């Protein structure tokens, strides 16, 4: 029982029968089922309401599935010493940080069975991209980091521990900037390409680091980065031999400047990204020197 969402009142007259999935208001005498509720609250036709519900229930189910998957992979990490060794080799030794980031491991071959035992359908697994049409797991021998939005996984990033192509995201939206709930309140932020770069910087104490997961920003990520006037963005992309990271950094810095955001490009020693820089022994003060030596455009 509560206040009716369809008319103003001072005493609750809106009843929901959760058992029968029906509502009724004794004030305005509106009532019906879930579809009727969506028709009234969203001002949609019957058909539009059906589509609306289908979409919302679908999105919620996929998000729940991704959360379950991330939790499963987190447990798997502790069952696979080779994955822990890979993380150590890349400089990650802080279990609390690994836990906070939800770092897991996908050995491959055991996800589908686990999720179907939990009652998830093959179709849903396929739709989220967690398995392919042959039913094989999308992630195999990859360290997994969930991309979360408001605490829920919207995608999973898999970093190959072997010879496979290093980066893999599920074929779905990558969401907004990583951890923007906390980083977005700050006036100085560091933007990196990869989630392992981000983990390395967080571990070194640079908690104002975010990532667009790649050098390309989606429109949503772009508007987040520009949402505070006077913000300063340090772009710390890869300094790879083919210059792709630095070229992308210069383009982005130029765009940011035109949008009124201060941008500075961080130059790491040639061949390094933030993760490899720290893994090779750099300290927080070394990185601070890199930040101080940035060129503004
Ligand atoms: Zn009412």
- Where helices occur in 173-232 by DSSP H, the ranges are 180-183, 195-203, 219-225
Q: How far is the CA of 2 from the centre of ligand 1 (A)?
A: 10
Q: How far is the CA of 58 from the centre of ligand 1 (A)?
A: 29
Q: How far is the CA of 137 from the centre of ligand 1 (A)?
A: 49
Q: How far is the CA of 143 from the centre of ligand 1 (A)?
A: 52
Summarised one tens digit per residue, pLDDT across range 53-63 is 988 888 888 99
Backbone angles phi, psi at 296, to 5 degrees: -95, 150
Handedness of CA 9, 12, 17, 18 (dihedral sign): positive
- Is the per-residue pLDDT at 297 higher than 60? no
Q: How far is the CA of 3 from the centre of ligand 1 (A)?
A: 8
Which stretch of DSSP H or E encloses residue 25?
Answer: strand 22-25
Q: How far is the CA of 35 from the centre of ligand 1 (A)?
A: 17
Q: How far is the CA of 60 from the centre of ligand 1 (A)?
A: 28
- How confident is residue 24, by pLDDT bands cut at 50, 70 and 90? very high
Q: Which residues surround ligand 1, an ion (CB under 5 A)?
A: 4, 6-7, 25, 27-28
Q: How far is the CA of 31 from the centre of ligand 1 (A)?
A: 9
pLDDT number for residue 58: 81
pTM, full prediction:
0.83
Q: How far is the CA of 23 from the centre of ligand 1 (A)?
A: 10
């Amino acid at each position: 029982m509560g206040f009716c969402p369809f008319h103003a009142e001072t005493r609750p007259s809106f009843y929901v029968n959760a058992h029968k999935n029906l509502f009724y208001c004794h004030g305005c005498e509106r009532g019906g089922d879930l579809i009727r509720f969506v028709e009234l609250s969203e001002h949609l036709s019957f058909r539009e309401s059906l589509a609306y519900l289908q979409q919302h229930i679908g999105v919620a189910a996929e998000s729940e599935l991704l959360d379950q998957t991330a939790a499963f992979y987190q447990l798997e990490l502790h069952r696979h010493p080779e994955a822990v060794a890979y993380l150590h080799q890349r400089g990650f030794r802080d279990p609390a940080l690994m836990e906070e980031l939800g770092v897991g491991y996908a050995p491959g071959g055991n996800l589908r069975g686990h999720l179907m035992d939990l009652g998830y359908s093959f179709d849903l697994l396929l739709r989220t991209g967690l398995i392919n049409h042959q039913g094989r797991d999308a992630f195999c021998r990859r360290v997994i980091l969930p991309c979360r939005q408001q605490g829920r996984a919207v995608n999973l990033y898999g970093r190959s521990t072997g010879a496979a192509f290093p980066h893999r995201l599920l074929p779905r939206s990558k969401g907004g900037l990583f951890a923007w709930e906390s980083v977005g309140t700050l006036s100085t932020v560091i933007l990196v390409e990869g989630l392992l770069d981000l983990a390395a910087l967080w571990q070194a104490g640079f908690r104002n680091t975010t990532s667009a997961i790649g050098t390309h920003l989606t429109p949503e990520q772009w508007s987040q980065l520009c949402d505070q006037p006077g913000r300063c963005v340090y772009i710390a992309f890869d300094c790879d031999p083919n210059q792709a990271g630095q070229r992308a950094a210069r383009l982005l810095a130029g765009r940011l400047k035109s949008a009124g955001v201060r941008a500075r490009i961080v130059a790491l020693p040639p061949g390094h990204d933030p993760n490899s820089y720290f893994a090779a022994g750099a300290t927080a003060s070394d990185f601070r020197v890199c930040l101080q030596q940035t060129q503004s455009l």
